[in-house]
Structures are given as C-alpha cells and as structure tokens.
Structure 1
C-alpha cells in the first residue's frame, strides 16, 4: 500500500514485488486528474502485482474532487485493467463517495480505515457509512482505528472499538470487512501484534469462517489474489 502521492513510490513498490514472493499485490497511486492518467495506469498494469489505486482523498481540499476533477478516461482504464479503488477518506467525503460508488458499479471500492470515525463527526460518519454499505460492491477496511483513539482510550481500547465494530458488522457484514494492519502507522499507538490480537478479541463472537474471511479471505477475493 503506497503511503505518498508519488509515481516514484508506486514504481518502487512494484519493483519490490517482482523480486519478493511475499508481496502478493500493490495498491499504488496515479493522479487520476492528470490528462495522461490512463496511459500511466496502463504502463504500470504491465506488472501483474498492481491490484489497485489509492488517491489520497483525505489530503485533497475539495471534498467533491472525485466528481469535479477526475479524468473519465482514467476511471475507464481502472475498470478495463481490473483494478480496485481504495478510498482514503474521512467523514466529510462520504456523501461524495456514495454518489461516486453508486454510479460506478463496475469499479470495486473499499473504504480505508473505516473512514476514520471521529466523535465530533459521529452522525455524519454513521449516515455516510450506512449509505455506502447499501451499495453491494463497496467494502470496508477494519484498520487504522487505534490511531484515532484518545490517549485515555488507548489504555484500554476494546470498549471504544467494540461499538465501532458492531456498526461495521451491521452495515457490511463479515463478508465485506477487510482487516488491515495499517503498519507502520499503527506503531504510533500499538505494535502490529497488539493490533492483530485486539482484532481477534473483537471478532471472538464470530464463527471461525467469518473471522478467517475478515482476517484474509475477503482481501484475497477483493483484490483478486491467490488465497
């Protein structure tokens, strides 16, 4: 997963994937507003490790950027190349994202970090996430939640995380939730192992098959990876 809006980083990750079988796939970045974006996507899709694109929507001032600035040929190329769309968003983007997803049922979409729920945008987040969950090809990542908690909540994260997970399960079900480590950013709040163990505790009431789907099976299916 790229961490910067940079073709150089995407190319670097794709080069690593060529020589390391542990890298099952890469979600990269291309400026979808660039007039040449379709060509840039096609060039990089020659590497089969490229599985999706993640525009850094949370860092773009215009919350309607997907509707106002994206090159339609770039979106057509994403579909033609079989790529996925990772949406790095917060609550303010959710109305726009729901409109976009409803129009693009040919483009599999996943909401990164569950759109980073924040107490001061709780109603906006719930309303927006419920609308997105009603669109069948939209998935949601169970990731990036620890770094959104307060220092007090981090001392005992489970009580703060349980109601969030309950809503996500109600909306997306275990079939459309995808666990993510958010490493290395997660280390600002906990280790990789601590986040994995917290997730297992959160999912303890689900069946083994449902837990397996969330922890890996859904990601393999969504990104078209070998299970």
Structure 2
C-alpha cells in the first residue's frame, strides 16, 4: 500500500490561513479529498497523511472532521498552542481521535528562530510522548541548531523533518553546504526521520530528475531509506509541479533501492512512524 505522508486539504473561506492569499491564485480555493482522489488513483497511492496548514485548533478539528468521513485519510497532523498551560489537556483530548497522529508548529513562520529550543515546551511534549504522538518539524537551515537542542532534550519523541529541511535548490550552490551539513547533523539522531517532499517547490521552474538528484541522494545517504518517507506536499506542489510528475520523478530517483526499501519509502515507513 502506497501512502502519501504529507498533503493538505483546506477551505480559504474558513478564514484562518494567514499565508494563503488571493496572490497565490493556483492555491486560493478549496481543496478536498475529491480533488486528490483521481491523482492518487493514477499514482497508485491508497492513503494519505493530512498535515495542518493553519496555526489554529479550529483547522485541526476541521481536518479531523474530514478524516472521520474519508477512508483515504490515514492520519492527521494538527496544530496545538504548545506553550499554553492547557496544551497537555488539549493533546490528551485530541489523542482520543483515532486518526490524530501528531502535531506541527509552523516553525518556518515564527519570528523567533529559536522558539523550538524553549524549555517551557516540556509539558506539551511530555503529553505527545505519553500519547504516542509524533512531531513534524517545518524548518529551514537556520532552525537546525535550535531543533537539535529540542531533539536532544526529548530523545523518545518521534520527530520527522518536513520537506528535507527545504534545501535552497533554486539558488544553486549558495547555501547548499550549510544545508547538507545541517541535515547530516539531524540525521545522526536515530529517532529523527525525514520526508522526501516539498523539493519541487524549492526548485526553479523547469526542474527535472537531474535537478533534484543531488538533494535526494544526500538525504538517502544520511538517513538511509529506512527513515525516509515520500510525500507530495499537494496542493502546494501545484505552484511548481504536479502530483503525477513528482511521484514519477521520485520513483526514478529511488530506482536503485531494493524493492523492500522502495516499499518503505512509499508507505511502510510512514505507517510505522505515524502508527497508521
């Protein structure tokens, strides 16, 4: 069973997607399961992990409502106010939802790059660990030092790096050494995984398999196929690609792996990591 480990559903009329404006014309409409279904079916993807796109509990509940009615949604990664005093109680409540699998603060959008290193996050993280939930880290290279502090503080928390930590692909060699060194550092922690997703969005238009290969090869080298999981990042992917193209290119980029390793990257690893 192939699983898309990272995609989104949203409805702009809900009014809490601060980043989603009419300027992003390809994305500024409702995207739901019926929109993704024909693409999933053509790619052979059976189920998905839906990830939050708004920093509100309301959107998390919206996604869980969708998940109750949609069999293809295997899990939901939501948002909670992790520094609030009632965060542990909220996490405990959400954990009663069978498809609630983890949380994601939108680290890339926060004004403080060191937010994730705040020791005051401990009560919320302890609640995640107690309820066997995961943590998605949406970061750039500049967040790696702070995230490493967080990872070392909570060695039993399952952590996955979204979008390969967004390598600066469109900038050519600028910044790539720092990214490569940083992602290598994070991969040294055995409880940290990484999503093979979002790379097309970081590339210039007209990207190809050749464009993305150095980044995918590096992620494979440092994490190994056992800690990588494929995700589409659809519909954000539509800004610079499409579902079937990215699935096809990823398949080519992983062609040298064994069948078992490819099966892991395209589904088995996500199943184990998220407890799907």
- Return 5+ residue gaps in structure 1 as ranges: none
Q: Are 1:35 and 1:71, in contact at CA under 8 Å, matched by a contact in 2?
A: no
| Larger relative contact order (CA 8 Å, sep ≥ 6) | 2
Distance 2:176 2:202 in 1: 13
CA offset at residue 14 of structure 1? Answer: 0.8
Q: Does 1:181 align with 2:242?
A: no
TM-score under structure 1 length normalisation? 0.94
CA offset at residue 71 of structure 1? Answer: 3.0
Distance 2:138 2:86 in 1: 22
User: Runs ≥4 in structure 1, deviation > 2 angstroms?
Assistant: 68-71
Distance 1:115 1:200 in 2: 20
CA offset at residue 18 of structure 1? Answer: 1.6
Distance 1:8 1:67 in 2: 26
Q: Are 1:28 and 1:53, in contact at CA under 8 Å, matched by a contact in 2?
A: yes
Aligned residue number for residue 140 of structure 1: 194
CA offset at residue 16 of structure 1? Answer: 1.4
Q: Does 1:79 align with 2:97?
A: no
Q: Does 1:21 align with 2:75?
A: no
TM-score under structure 2 length normalisation? 0.78
Distance 2:163 2:191 in 1: 17
Distance 1:199 1:224 in 2: 24
Aligned length: 222
- Return 5+ residue gaps in structure 2 as ranges: 1-50
3-state secondary structure, aligned to 2:226: coil
- 1:6-37: CA deviations, max 9, x gaps? 11110011111122222111000001111211
The structure with the greater share of residues assigned to strand is 2
Distance 1:98 1:159 in 2: 30
Q: Are 1:33 and 1:69, in contact at CA under 8 Å, matched by a contact in 2?
A: no
CA offset at residue 184 of structure 1? Answer: 0.5
Q: 1:142 to 1:70 in 2, by over 3 A?
A: farther
3-state secondary structure, aligned to 1:127: helix
Which residue, 170, 184, 189 being the options, matches 1:130? 184
